[in-house]
Structure 1
Amino acid sequence: MTRDLRAEASISIKLRLYIAGDTPAMLAALACREVLLRQTTGLEIAVIDIVEDPQTARSAGILAAPTLSYETEASPRRLVGDLGDPDDILKHFDLSGTGASS
């Protein structure tokens, strides 16, 4: 079942996934990203490899990878480490109440 965040929240949700090279944690984070994108309409997740683009990570204050960041106007919300459970990710970013969770 696909959830439509744009219809329910009238916005597009943009997250950033910071990864570091080719590691098992990075592969799990990318797999979870694919699940989230497949199941949630209106969600965008940009991938930034901090090995290839360290300046972007430094500018954002990223100290560890994988990190999933929701850049809000007030302050960024981040989830660092295990990104294996899409439902936990949606709950962490308060997106589960928008109709985005299973």
Structure 2
Amino acid sequence: MSPRKTYILKLYVAGNTPNSMRALKTLKDILETEFKGVYALKVIDVLKNPQLAEEDKILATPTLAKILPPPVRRIIGDLSDRQRVLIGLDLLFEELSGDKTDMLHSGPEEAI
């Protein structure tokens, strides 16, 4: 049995706006359905931490970045289309071929 991949993602939002909350809810729904137990999500508010947005070259929100496993992938804007998110992050193939049994539980997302 091969070791499970852990998916490290960052969601950049601008404050507690309806658009930011919708992006977070949609993303959490996708992750809990498809990658429960094998992901870590860090939510970064660029209004509170503009230096992080600058360091990571984030120009618009919401921006979702898949950091691990490589390669790094980003989606900017609307996250409501589940298939677009999975394809854009290069996760669709793994989602369709992965074994979803015996997964570890993920911890809560970390807000910065």
**TM-score (structure 1 length as normaliser):** 0.78
In structure 2, do the counterparts of structure 1 residues 100 and 19 end up closer, same or farther at CA, with 3 Å as the change threshold?
A: farther
How far has the Cα of 1:72 moved from its partner?
A: 5.2
Q: CA deviation at 1:8?
A: 7.3
Is the helix fraction higher in 1 or 2?
A: 1
Amino acid of the structure 1 residue aligned with 2:12: Y
User: In the alignment, is residue 25 of structure 1 matched against residue 19 of structure 2?
Assistant: yes
Please give the per-residue CA displacement for 1:16-57, whole angstroms capped at 9, x wherever unaligned.
000001222101101112202321221222100001111111
Percent identical: 34
1:35 and 2:45 matched: no
SS at match of 2:30: helix
Instruction: Show structure 1 runs of 5+ residues with no match.
Output: 1-6
Distance 1:9 1:29, change over 3 A: farther
Q: Structure 2 matches for 1:1-102, cutoff 5 A?
A: 10-39=4-33, 40-41=35-36, 42-71=38-67, 76-99=72-95
Quote the residue 2:101 is aligned against. Answer: none
Seen in structure 2, the aligned counterparts of structure 1 residues 98 and 56 have a Cα distance that, compared at 3 Å, is same
The answer to whether the Cα contact below 8 Å between 1:64 and 1:80 also exists between their aligned partners in 2 is: yes
SS at the partner of 1:61?
coil
Return structure 1 stretches of 4+ with deviation > 4 angstroms. 72-75
- TM-score, normalised to structure 2, is 0.72
Any unmatched runs of 5+ in structure 2?
98-112
How many residues are treated as equivalent by the alignment? 95
